[in-house]
Amino acid sequence: MEQRFVMKCGGSTLAALPNAFFAELKELQQSGVRPVIVHGGGPAISDTLGKLGIETEFVNGLRKTNDDVLDVVEMVLAGKINKEIVRKIQQNGAKALGLSGVDGKLIQAKPVANSDEIGFVGDVTDVNAAVIEGVMGMGYIPVIAPIGIDDAAQRYNINADTAAGAVASHLGVERMIVVTDVPGILKTVNGEKQVLPTVTVEEIEAMIASGEIYGGMIPKVRAAIQCIQGRVSEVVIVKGDEPGVLTRAVLEGGVGTRIVR
């Protein structure tokens, strides 16, 4: 079985990554490892909505999505950010193909339970893994924007972490990599902050309750936990600009924080 991995990355994080990261992606691809990228883009969506004068609010961390917002979500995610990532990968000598969940009904979705208050936000019901397999088989890195679609051709805004976990699970990948701007989950030991090598979901909840994980780190770890579903049993949180980070995360271990079920 060839080695493959699914990587989740925020749109703003990816744009800021150094060329060394993409060079490493190329090296991994050339050595026979098959990467799949699922990306987000929340800040860029908010920015564009602001420019267009469209108001939006968040309910429990998910963006309220009406038709107008949905148009912008698709435009920014599947258009701007998706192609930026594809360009950057290709600029660094690897081959990439951008897709959204609408293409080939790649990410099939249904409305979330509280859709009456939140609008067109979706839960993933199925992933057309054959499309991803086909793209990888042709030697391209699939770059996936998390827009979902249902049988009535209704589009849905899908949380990128949920989408990434579903893609990984349907591809049969057990470990997922979440690339952020932090080196992992930090714990203060003897007055010094250290990266925890491994932590369970239970321990994370306790650290949030005790205030050890706080502020902007809470959504990051909660997001990573959302990736643990189906076959995905562990998620590694890493900082994208650490040298050799991908090779270490995929093949060697010993980088970032492994969150295990």
Please answer whether residues 75 and 48 qualify as being in contact, where contact means their C-beta atoms are separated by less than 8 angstroms: yes
User: Residues 84, 77: contact at Cβ < 8 Å?
Assistant: no
Cα 22 → chain centroid: 16
Please confirm, yes or no, whether 161 is among the known catalytic residues: yes
From the candidates 10, 11, 165, 184, which is the catalytic residue?
A: 11
The reply to whether 220 belongs to the active site is: yes
Selected catalytic residue, list 184, 220, 240, 256:
220
Query: Has 42 been annotated as catalytic?
Result: yes
Catalytic residue among 10, 40, 41, 42: 42
Nearest-angstrom CA–CA distance, 15 and 43: 12
28: helix, coil or strand? helix
Q: Which of 10, 40, 88, 161 is catalytic?
A: 161
Instruction: Go through the chain and tell me how many residues it has.
Output: 261
Alpha carbon of 26 to those of 12, 57, 89, 140, 259: distances in Å? 21, 38, 8, 11, 26
Marked catalytic residue, from 8, 10, 41, 101: 8
Query: Is 25 in a helix, a strand, or coil?
Result: helix
Residue 11 among the catalytic residues: yes
Q: Do 158 and 126 meet the contact criterion of CB atoms below 8 Å apart?
A: no
Active site residues: 8, 11, 42, 161, 220
